[in-house]
Amino acid sequence: MVASSKAEARRKVQSLGPDRTKSIDLVLLGSILHRWNRNPKYLNDDARPFPIRATGRAPSVEALFRAENRKQYFKKGIQDMCAAGLVRRNRSGLYLPKNDSILLHTLTPEMVANLALSINRLVATLLHNTATSRRGADRLIERNALVTDLPEEKLKEFILFSREQGAALVTTLNDWLENRRASVEGMNQSTQRTVSAGIHVFAFSDETCRD
């Protein structure tokens, strides 16, 4: 299943055209947006981001990339953020983030890659949770809630409710993760052992309703 999804992902990427076959680093840019919207150095008295310059000492976009130890990605990163509509530039040449998170609404290489990774991670979680029979083992959360007879007129209400609840959960977990990263806690990243960790939330419904 994972191999099939990756093959399909490659075919989808090729169909997007040569200008968008190269993906952008959404994980890095997401962390940049998180710092931008949470760090007091970048917020006004109303706790909202204020316009900042591109280069130089903090507060600047370049300083945000330095904080992620990815200064070499700054020039391409700011271009990617502008191209993806994540930031806007005002008449004074200063930059502001449009949101505090990244939402994709079109089929992009990043979306296709995320699909393959999501399937891979789901399978890995299931294998991890079933690899031991010990009740006290540290199992990753894997849950679902569904009914087979939701009235069709309630679908829009479900979509809105699940979107609100899912966004709240993701925001809470993202804040927890970002605040405990090795770079945030001042650990020696060259010797500190680290792992990738996160959650993936999505809602679903049948394409066609049943009478």
User: Using CA of residue 169, residue 172, residue 178, residue 182, what is the dihedral sign?
Assistant: negative
Which residues, listed in sequence order, are joined to residue 88 by a DSSP beta bridge?
96
Evaluate whether 52 touches 95 at the Cβ level (below 8 Å). Answer: yes
- Pick from 160, 179, 168, 157: which is nearest to 201 by CA? 168
Write out pLDDT tens, residues 158-169: 999 999 999 899
195-201: long-range contacts (C-beta < 8 A, 24 or more apart)? 198/173, 199/141, 199/169, 199/170, 199/173, 200/118, 200/121, 200/122, 201/166, 201/169, 201/170
| Alpha-carbon gap, residue 201 to 121, rounded angstroms | 12
**37 residue type, one letter:** N
Of 71-85, 108-122, 168-182, which range is least confident?
108-122
The model's pTM is: 0.64
pLDDT digits (tens, 9 = 90+) for 66-105: 988 888 889 999 988 888 888 999 999 999 998 877 776 6
Q: Do residues 90 and 51 make contact, with C-beta atoms less than 8 angstroms apart?
A: yes
The residues, ordered by sequence, that sit 6+ positions from 38 with a Cβ below 8 Å of its Cβ are 100, 175, 178
Q: pLDDT tens digits for 16-59?
A: 554 444 567 888 888 899 889 989 999 999 999 999 999 999 99
Radius of gyration of the chain, Cα coordinates, nearest whole angstrom: 20
